[in-house]
Amino acid sequence: MEIALIGIGKIAIDQHVPAIQNSPDWNLSATVSRHGTVAGVPAFHDFAQMLEERPDIRVVSLCLPPVPRFDYAAAAIRAGRHVMLEKPPGATLSECHALKAMAQAHRVSLYATWHSRQADKVLAAKAWLAEKALQKLTINWREDVRQWHPGQDWVFEAGGLGVFDPGINALSILTEILPEPVHLTGAQLHFPANREAPIAAECSFHHPRGAEVSMNLDWLEPGAPTWTIQAETDQGIMILENGGDKLTIDGEIDESVSDLTGEYPRLYAQMASLVQRGGIDMDLSPMRHVADAFTLGKRITVEPFEW
């Protein structure tokens, strides 16, 4: 199938382009970006022009920051194109619900992707937790924003989510692996004095059976990144590390190997399946937790952040 990639930045070059080019399902037929291009692929600067001139491209993958994404997605849906959304699927829950309604009305596929759910050991962690009584779960998601978003001011602007940009990855795993849903009960959000989005956060959650569930996010980690979820249950301890790529249960590492490796190859395989069967996947549960954190969170002003 012909696909266009919209927004040629770091994540597009590092993840989306190789996933598309190595997939048997897709042909990267166009890009739309103000600055970025992909060698050998027709490049457009104007999205409307691409939609008009390339009716053969039935699918678009949006890698733009969340705030401008709605207008692009809505234009694509109105043009009868299937749409794949990088995480988070939008800047607000309301616009995500609006996109779903539009996709249903225009009978096109729409996919809110959560790449961390496709990490190698997430499904194994979900299966192990399924029959266990959870007692305590702790998320530690710590990294250096200067390494992962160098100079990208949009992540600290309103709608950019701040530290919840990586934190929502942890929440996407949490909402996938827990057999029972949790909801946020409190948060402390650390806002740099000169920024509009938090640089660190601590969150607590209600678990229906009384387990202690918490999350710590930090975007100023000076050392190696830590992307870990630890679950203590009545039948042992599970540690999911490296963003979901390593699973240890009671000290024993899971060595199983999946048929298809890589988060983004799995996302594009799932998008192909959605398009072929005319499906929509707009799970917004990770984003709902972030919205709750901004609603309930106590704002704490910390020192200004400079690149």
* Residues carrying an active site annotation: 87
CA distance readout (Å), 230 to 137, 138, 215, 233 = 6, 5, 10, 10
Sign of CA dihedral 241, 244, 249, 254: negative
In the chain, DSSP assigns E strands to: 2-6, 27-32, 43-44, 59-62, 82-85, 110-112, 134-142, 183-192, 200-206, 212-218, 226-233, 236-241, 246-249, 252-253, 280-281, 298-302
d(CA 161, CA 180): 26
